[in-house]
Amino acid sequence: MNFLWKKLFINMSKFVDIKIRAKYRDMLKEYCKDNGYKMYACVENLIEQNCRKKQVLKVDRKTN
C-alpha cells in the first residue's frame, strides 16, 4: 500500500494548476467537448505549438 501511495503522489506532482478566467475556461471546455479532446492535452498541445523557443542560426559577420 505504501508503494502505491508513493507512486500516486509522484504522478500527481507532475501536474500544476494555472489560473485563467472562467470565460476562457468555458470556451476551452466547449471546444474540447465538441472535438473529443481532454482539456489538459489540448492546452499542452497549444503550448508546444506556440511557445517553443525558435532556433536562430547565428552568422559570423566578420569582414576581411
Query: Where do the structural domains in the chain lie, given as residue ranges?
Result: 16-50
Write down the H helix ranges in the chain.
2-12, 22-35, 39-50
CA 29 – CA 37 distance, rounded (Å): 9
The share of the chain scoring above pLDDT 70, in percent, equals 75
> Tens of pLDDT along 30-60?
999 999 999 999 999 999 999 887 777 777 7
Instruction: Quote the pLDDT of residue 58.
Output: 73
**Taking the CA of residue 17 as centre, how many other CA atoms within 13 Å lie in the half-sphere pointing to its CB?**
3
Give me the pLDDT at residue 54, please.
Answer: 74
Neighbours of 1 (CB within 10 A): 5
Residue 58 DSSP one-character state: -
pTM exceeds 0.85: no
Instruction: Give the model's pLDDT for residue 20.
Output: 94
